[in-house]
Amino acid sequence: MIHAVNPILSGFHPDPSICRAGEWFYLANSTFQWFPGVELHRSRDLVHWERLPSPLRRVSQLDLRGDPDSGGVWAPCLTYADGLFWLVYTDAKETRGPYKDVHNYVVTAEDPAGDWSEPVYLNSSGFDPSLFHDDDGRKYVCNMLWDHRPGHRLFAGIVVQEYSVAEKRLVGPARLVYTGTPALGTEGPHLYKRDGAYYLMVAEGGTAYWHGVQLARSKSVWGPYESDPQPLLTAKHDHASPLQRTGHGCLVDTPKGDLFVAYLCGRPVPVGWQQPCPLCRETALVPVEWSPDGWLRMKGVEGVVPPVEFDVDLPEAPVAPESERVVFDAPALPTAFKTLRAPFDDEMGSLAARPGWLRLYGRESPISWQRQSLVARRVQHFACEAETELEFAPECFQQMAGLMLMYDASNFFFLHLTRDEESAQNVLRLSVRSNREFSEPVPGGFVPLGGATRVLLRVRKDVFRLRFSYSLDGAAWTDVCGELDGSHLCDEAYREMKTDGHTGPFVGMSCVDLAGRRIPADFRSFSYRALG
């Protein structure tokens, strides 16, 4: 018996989809504008998770250039059937107005850590698609239906349509089978079957503090579906729960027949209703069981608020921890690293041009939705430290390279080496964008470095308190400008802009050349470690 504590995947790991193949469990998460698409893990005990290569690694599978912040890959669904892994996902191209340009695809693989197929287009009627494999061999795709018409509910309900494997397309009519409960915001559907009855698990209430998981059932895949009298789980009425924003569930069984639901959650600081969640939406797990009246209920829990701690009756199977310090002496980037919208290719950078170093070529600015040169990893701890060693010889003020701490293009910190032409020297500047407002808080505008072209850069994060520093010799460190407030690096900051943010904080290395000369920056190492 393993005693575990939620979340099982900390940091930005939203919209979990979980499945089992033999003794292995596999879990997929949304990645939004980050490339490659879909975060993928595997585990033998549901507690210790090993990161696998992301499935959508080719532009032919996923082209995110131009996708808005918090667009891109939404709510993947991972299943296993017929000796194949099936991955269904949304590429959200436009999300900011009454319309939603959202395109749904399916890819397959025999080995989830290997190459996945080219995508098969499904539909564009709504987002959060999933694939259900019925016991008679037929397959069905379900997704939420988006209705932009005035006077209609935007989240119109769940539609189901049959999928033909032979024809590689949806066939027959798409039928609206479920319109949800008064909680509204019906999305994230998953279909299951038990004792001849079809069960539809959906997310409701929006993905913030009213979030929850709801179940409905029917004698036919086409409905009508009756709603469970109560949600399976939600924390919306318990403002003291340390796990808030709980919802978007997905069911899995163990080889012993035990049942668990993976769901997303947020951990607010301080604990409380609508307090900010520094690590945004994370993945949690809860054991469930069937009640005598045929509904799923959380096991050993009274009510609907999911617990922080839980037990798993499986042999413990630890995995090797990821290295805190990365030296770029391998032919490929570690799987923890991602780029923005575009793949790491010869246009962005190289691991071979200077052996033992990561070279990034200067491209577009941190607010670009097209061609940034940024390699970053998730922030996964409330208190942590990231550090990189940089060598860079800028020729003008438009050329910048350094350490990026980013939520998205509207909210970031960029500590960078650049050129000050008036003083004819290299300098450090700190650019901050907070809810789209730009500032540079370093007194005097910059830190003079003379002719130095090699510098170590560091950021320490304690919840929302940030401290940036630099060193020229790796021994003596100097603060850039004292403690800064990073509370805008979270979903809740978007309330001030009256829009939605659904991603999470990343930290990494960036090179910018607004002069268009593609000047390179070389990074010798990158370190990330938890503090405390």
Active site residues: 15, 187
Structure tokens at 251: 């069911």
User: Any idea what DSSP says for residue 363?
Assistant: B
Main-chain phi, psi angles of 59, to 5 degrees: -60, -30
Cα distances from 223 to residues 154, 158, 187, in angstroms, run: 21, 11, 17
Alpha helices (H) along 72-119 = none
Which residue is listed with tokens 């391998």?
A: 330
Write the secondary structure of 491-529 as one string of H (helix), E (strand) and C (coil). Answer: HHHHHHHCCCCCCCCEEEEEEEECCCCCCEEEEEEEEEE
User: Any idea what DSSP says for residue 37?
Assistant: B
Strand partners, 141: 131, 161
DSSP 180-206: --TT---EEEEEEEETTEEEEEEEES-
Contact status, residue 248 vs residue 218, Cβ threshold 8 Å: no
Q: Which residues contact 525 (CB under 8 A, 6 or more apart)?
A: 325, 326, 327, 328, 388, 389
CA distance 391 to 17: 41
CA distance 297 to 238: 18
Q: Is 360 helix (H, G, I), strand (E, B) or coil?
A: strand
Contact status, residue 435 vs residue 462, Cβ threshold 8 Å: no
Contact status, residue 381 vs residue 530, Cβ threshold 8 Å: yes
Contact status, residue 102 vs residue 90, Cβ threshold 8 Å: yes
Cα distances from 239 to residues 60, 181, 252, 316, in angstroms, run: 44, 22, 28, 33
